Amino acid sequence: WPLGSQPLNALGRAGSFAGYGLARQKIAGEAQTGMLVETLWLLPVAAIYLFGIADSATSHMGQNALSLNLLLMAAGVVTTIPLLCFTGAATRLRLSTLGFFQYIGPTLMFLLAVTFYGEVPGADKMVTFAFIWVALAIFVMDAVYTHRRPRMKM
């Protein structure tokens, strides 16, 4: 997004992911059961999109090569495994801890882009990156301090 504008896309994604994590933590249940319910709930929306709106060469599986169809099916499995892991973690971890782990993937992608693909981050991105990791360092130090502090009996 350009400097000075609101990052609505990023805020929307972060908000929806936080809401999803909160909902998964509040609704008790196994990861597989939750995934089944979520998939069945979204199935009609996906079917309407696939059969009514999407019109591309890859949306007609009967016309695709077998290798492409196998790759598309494998993409479902590759997507489902991390979702099951996240759902299992969302029910067991505090939301603040879960939120901390959400920074690992984007940080690794950033480091990969800079070190291997020659991405040249601008000053605005470096300042943002630094602010995020300073805040996370404060969070971790607070968690360590809180954990080590002897608990007072009431």
User: Using 50, 70 and 90 to split pLDDT, how confident is the model at 75?
Assistant: very high
Three-class SS string for the chain? Answer: CCCCCCCHHHHHHHHHHHHHHHHHHHCCCCHHHHHHHHHHHHHHHHHHHHHHHCCCHHHCHHHCCHHHHHHHHHHHHHHHHHHHHHHHHHHHCCHHHHHHHCCHHHHHHHHHHHHCCCCCCCHHHHHHHHHHHHHHHHHHHHHHHHHHCCCCCC
- Which percentage of the chain shows pLDDT scores above 90? 10
- Annotated domain spans of the chain: 7-94, 103-154
Which pTM does this prediction carry? Answer: 0.53
